[in-house]
Amino acid sequence: MNTSSSGPTTTWYAKKRRGQWTAATLMLIIFIPMAVAIFVYHTGVGMPAGTMNKGVLLQQPVNFGGFSLNNMQHQTWNIEEQKSKWRWVITGKNGCDARCEEQLYMTRQAHIRLGEKAGRVERIFLVPDSALQQGVAESLQRDHPHMTLLTLSDAEFQQLMTGLGQQLPSTVNADTSVFLMDPDAWLMMAYQESHQGGDLLDDIKRMLKLSYED
């Protein structure tokens, strides 16, 4: 009697154990790829070179829309009223020095190379009020007619640059970087002196491919 009664019980436990192993295996099949994907995303290890950003991602994006921006006509420039675009932002803490001129040339060439997609991207040159000189502004508008020139008060400009610097590695200088801003006005990526125009172009092409045109 004992032998015969233990048979079904043993079979039941065996089936239960197999079911537990099956469930555990399914969970591993589901969660291991997820864990690997998260690891690759955050570290870049194992990611194909062609899919990695060339620019330096900010630890936390910085919103551009909360600042009191003005154009060259001293009129308020509200980004929420502008057409939704990706934007390169070049800053000139002390006006436009040699490094700034290189950045303007690099971004202009990258913009031109976008071809029919160029309309989805805008270049912005941003300076503090104290650094704005009429002759320089006129020269920039002549040499870069499709670029938007904007100003901020000295205090707000410093606030913006400090905020950007806090979100970048210590090896990246915010004052000499070009920034990529998404269509929702978030500054999200920086390009330092070691970056080339091709790096900006590769990243923006990828962003345009992944985003919708309004």
CATH number of 53-210: 3.40.30.10
Q: Are 192 and 71 in contact (CB under 8 A)?
A: no
Cα–Cα distance between 160 and 62 in angstroms, integer?
A: 8
Q: Which tens digit of pLDDT belongs to each residue from 154-210?
A: 999 999 999 999 999 999 999 999 999 999 999 999 999 999 999 999 999 999 998
Stronger pLDDT, 27 or 122, i.e. the higher one: 122
**What does the alpha-carbon distance between residue 157 and residue 209 come to, in Å, rounded to a whole number?**
32
Least confident of 78-82, 93-97, 104-108, 153-157: 93-97
* pTM passes above 0.85: no
The CA distance from 92 to 113, in Å, is 24
pLDDT in tens, 142-153: 899 999 999 999
Lowest mean pLDDT segment, chosen from 30-44, 55-69, 79-93: 30-44
pLDDT at residue 50 tops 60: no
Query: By the 8 A CB rule, do 173 and 82 touch?
Result: no
Closest by Cα among 32, 35, 85, 63 to 156: 63
